[in-house]
Every structure is written in C-alpha cells, then in structure tokens.
C-alpha cells in the first residue's frame, strides 16, 4: 500500500494563501488505511485551515469530502458536482490523486496536502515500513522474498556491503541489514546456495530510469 | 484584559464526571467549580476525536481540557490512554499554528466528585486568564 504523511499545516496554509473557498478532498484508498488522508484526516485538516486563517484575521470557507479513489478517471469525474464552487482543492490523496486532478481538470487549482512516502506495510498499529520500491523487475524469488532494492540502503543485489554489524545496517543501526535477513532466511529454507548466484547487470529502465512507466492490459481495454 | 472571562470547554467521561453532574451541577458550584467552564459529558473519553477538540476551538474556546480515568484504571481499558494521545495530537497542531499548546490538556482522575476535579478546572481557568484570549479569537474580541 502507498504510505503518506500529512505536510506541516504552515506549508499547506501557504499554498492556499489566496483562496477564499477551499475543498479538502480525501481519498478512501491507501491514505485512509495509513490514516493520512481519509475522512477523519479531512475533518482535522479542514479545521486546522479554518483556525489558521482565523488567526491571521483572514477567515476562509473550507469544506471537506472524500472520493472512493483519486487514481481513477470515473471517480475524478464525480468532482463535477463541485464545479465552480471552490477556488482551490487541497488533495489528501497520494501524489497520484493530485496528478489525476491536474491531468483531468484543466481549470482546477489543486495542491498536495500529504507527502507520498513509500510502498509499505504496517507490522504494528501506527508504524509503517518500506517493503517495495516498485522497481518493475521483481527479484524476490532469488532473495527469499525479502527485497534488497527497497530495504538495503545501497540497493545491493549481490549480498551485503560488508558494513553490516550485529545484523544491523551500517547506514542506520535501527534497521536490520536486509542481506543478513536474506541470508538467515535462505539458510532456514535450506537454500543457502542462492547466495552464491551472481546477479547479472541490471536493466534499471523498468525502475523508472527510462521515463514514466506504463502498463497496458489488452485483455482489459475496450 | 482584566475583564477577560475565558471560555473553557471540558470533555469528561461519564465515570469521571458522574457525581459532578448528578445534582445539576449545584454541588460542583458550591465546591468552587468555575462557572465559565462548560462540561461535555462523554460515554468514554476514548470516543473523543481530534476534530471534536479542534471544533471546540473553532466555536470560540480559549482552552479545552479532557478528564478521563487514570491510565491504568480506565473503565473501558484504554479509553483514557487514547484520549491522551489525541490531546497530544491537538497540542502538536496548536504548536504548528503558533498557538500556546497549554491551551489543551489531559487530566487523568479517579471517578466521582472529588477536590481534584474542581482543582483541575480552577487550574485551567487560572492558566487561561494568564494566557489571555486564544489567538484564534483575538481578532473578534
Ligand atoms: S525487487 Fe523491485 S518489485 Fe520486487 S519487491 Fe523489490 S522493489 Fe518491489
Ligand atoms: S549494511 Fe546491509 S542493508 Fe545496510 S547498506 Fe550494507 S548490505 Fe545494505
């Protein structure tokens, strides 16, 4: 799932400095699950924007709403119900939602309320960690299911860098060295010989270095 | 500023405030509970949302506080711990807007009418008088 975090209120207030009527628009997808941009967070941010502007002696009208998703054209189309009612939309969706509104609504001024952080999961309530970097050429079958592209600070593909100590990464001792984890897991699965494999030089184009990526499924298009 | 009579909102769980509210507040008044503190009774402070506390400020409160059970003695197990977290989130939000975070506070008190319940209200009242009107209301006063 996409993990995001709300930007500081001052930064958001600055973006919408000139707006008189604002729509804070949440998303019921990933950002609801990671408690960054769902219905509750919309209510909170709407309140904070109103309070911030009241304090400046420049009160503003702020309404809140959520879309099922902001990464699908059909849901963005449902924004037509607010046509002409707001002079700024503050999107609490991930960056995809902001892009979609910008792509599809040429006259709508849209601003991002969250920082889109990474693809991750929640191991304990209230804590999320990065697990996948969306590199487009998955190698998890070679690494026991643990991702060195996303979870090794250097994205190494042929084993640890040599700086790992007591199973911790040399870049951040709070984080497990994923190559240590890969080694231990392959050993417990009786597949330690996988460590001896030399990864071929990787083509990073599908990882985003070849420009924006695109997936087309001919079985789904009409 | 001497005629400033702060608007204070208190959100209390049913258990903490039950005796306080039982005789229409008469007992409270006699015990010295400030008349400018408006009590909101909740089934459990754990039900309190961040947005409810912020709404109190939007409605003109100069200070807002929450009274729930002791953290390890909450009638609903973790209700007052959750409330304390949400009060913490509002403190952070106030600080982000450059408003004194002391204007929101969590108290953990034993249930029923007791001097601490009145003392908490008086403490908030004294503190808010010292701080002056909440900057959100500054312009309109
Ligand atoms: S190898 Fe690439 S696609 Fe697979 S988990 Fe890692 S980053 Fe994600
Ligand atoms: S210590 Fe491990 S996780 Fe950290 S950079 Fe080196 S190999 Fe990667």
Tens digits of residue pLDDT in A109-132: 999 999 999 999 999 999 999 999
- Element holding B68 (H helix, E strand): strand B63-68
Structure confidence at residue A96 (pLDDT): 98
Work out the minimum CA distance from B141 to partner chain A, whole angstroms: 12
Percent of chain B residues past pLDDT 90, beyond the cut: 65
Structure confidence at residue B140 (pLDDT): 46
Average pLDDT over residues B111-120: 84
- Element holding A25 (H helix, E strand): strand A21-27
ipTM: 0.89
Structure tokens at A158: 């042929």
Q: Which residues of A touch B93 (CB under 8 A)?
A: 9, 44, 48
A48 with B97: Cβ contact below 8 A = yes
Structure confidence at residue B138 (pLDDT): 67
- The answer on pLDDT for B1 being more than 60 is no
pTM of model > 0.80: yes
> What angle do the packed helices A39-55 and B79-96 form, to 10 degrees?
40
Structure tokens at A210: 């070849």
| B 41-60 → A contacts, CB under 8 A | 49-51, 54-55, 57-58
Q: What share of chain A is helix, strand, coil (3-state, %, to 5)?
A: 35, 20, 45
| 3-state SS, residue B74 | strand
SS (H, E, C) A1-17: CEEEEECCHHHHHHHCC
Nearest CA in chain B to A6: B93
CA A39 to chain centre: 18
Judged by a CB distance cut-off of 8 A, whether residue B136 touches chain A is yes
- The answer on pLDDT for A157 being more than 80 is yes
Structure tokens at A89: 């939309």
Q: Which residues of A touch B61 (CB under 8 A)?
A: none
d(CA A50, CA A58): 9
Q: Which residues of B touch A51 (CB under 8 A)?
A: 54, 57-58, 97, 136
Beta carbons of A100 and A73 less than 8 angstroms apart: yes
Q: How many CB atoms lie within 10 A of CB A78?
A: 12
Average pLDDT over residues A144-173: 96
Average pLDDT over residues B22-35: 81
Beta carbons of B50 and B78 less than 8 angstroms apart: no
pLDDT band at B141; cut points 50, 70, 90: very low
Percent of chain A residues past pLDDT 90, beyond the cut: 98
d(CA A89, CA A72): 17
B139 with A54: Cβ contact below 8 A = yes
Nearest CA in chain A to B140: A57
Percent of chain A residues past pLDDT 70, beyond the cut: 100
Q: Which residues of B touch A54 (CB under 8 A)?
A: 58, 136-137, 139
Query: Of the residues A2, A143, A149, A208, which should be mutated to test ligand 1's pocket, given the most ligand atoms within 8 Å of the CB?
Result: A149
Residue B39 phi, psi (nearest 5): -90, 135
pLDDT digits (tens, 9 = 90+) for B36-93: 999 999 999 999 999 999 999 999 999 999 999 998 888 888 989 999 999 999 999 9
pLDDT digits (tens, 9 = 90+) for A28-70: 999 999 999 999 999 999 999 999 999 999 999 999 999 999 9
Structure confidence at residue A172 (pLDDT): 96
Instruction: Name the residue at shortest CA distance from atom 4 of ligand 1.
Output: A138
Q: How many CB atoms lie within 10 A of CB A141?
A: 8
Mean pLDDT taken over chain B:
89
Tell whether ligand 1 has an atom less than 6 A from the beta carbon of residue A132: yes
B139 with A10: Cβ contact below 8 A = no
pLDDT digits (tens, 9 = 90+) for A96-113: 999 999 999 999 999 999
Beta carbons of B106 and B87 less than 8 angstroms apart: yes
- First vs last C-alpha separation in chain B: 11
B50 with A40: Cβ contact below 8 A = yes
Q: Which residues of A touch B (CB under 8 A)?
A: 8-10, 40, 43-44, 47-48, 50-52, 54-55, 57
Q: How far is CA B33 from CA A168, A197, B122, B133, in A?
A: 56, 75, 7, 20
Determine the distance separating the centroid of ligand 2 and the alpha carbon of A65, expressed in angstroms. 43
Instruction: Name the residue at shortest CA distance from atom 5 of ligand 1.
Output: A132
């Amino acid at each position: 799932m996409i993990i995001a975090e709300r930007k500081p209120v001052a930064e958001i207030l600055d973006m919408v400095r000139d707006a008189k009527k604002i729509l804070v628009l949440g998303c019921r997808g990933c950002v609801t699950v990671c408690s960054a941009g769902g219905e509750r967070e919309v209510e909170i941010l709407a309140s904070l924007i109103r309070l911030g502007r009241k304090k400046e002696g420049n009160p503003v009208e702020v309404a809140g709403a959520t879309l099922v998703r902001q990464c699908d054209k059909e849901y963005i189309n449902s924004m037509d119900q607010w046509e002409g009612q707001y002079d700024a939309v503050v999107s609490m969706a991930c960056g995809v939602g902001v892009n979609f509104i910008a792509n599809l609504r040429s006259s709508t001024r849209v601003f991002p309320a969250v920082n889109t952080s990474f693809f991750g999961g929640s191991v304990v309530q209230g804590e999320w960690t990065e697990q996948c970097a969306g590199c487009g050429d998955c190698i998890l079958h070679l690494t026991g299911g643990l991702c060195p592209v996303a979870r090794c600070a250097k994205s190494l593909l042929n084993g640890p860098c040599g700086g790992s100590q007591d199973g911790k990464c040399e870049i951040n001792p709070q984080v497990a060295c994923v190559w240590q984890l890969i080694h231990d897991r392959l050993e417990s699965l009786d597949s330690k010989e996988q460590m001896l494999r030399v990864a071929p030089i990787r083509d990073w184009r599908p990882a985003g270095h070849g420009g924006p990526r695109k997936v087309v499924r001919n079985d789904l298009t009409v | 500023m001497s005629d400033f009579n702060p608007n204070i909102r208190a959100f209390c769980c049913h258990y903490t405030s039950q005796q306080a509210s039982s005789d229409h507040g008469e007992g409270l008044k006699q015990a010295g509970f400030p008349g400018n503190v408006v009590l909101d009774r909740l089934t459990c402070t754990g039900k309190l949302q961040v947005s409810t506390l912020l709404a109190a400020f939007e409605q003109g409160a100069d200070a807002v506080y929450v009274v729930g059970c002791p953290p390890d003695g909450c009638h609903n197990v973790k209700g007052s711990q959750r409330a304390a977290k949400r009060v913490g989130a509002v403190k952070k939000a106030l600080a982000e807007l450059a408003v004194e975070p002391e204007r929101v506070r969590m108290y953990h008190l034993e249930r029923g009418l007791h001097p601490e319940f009145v003392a908490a209200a008086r403490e908030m009242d004294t503190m808010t008088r010292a701080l002056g009107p909440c900057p959100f209301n500054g312009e309109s006063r």
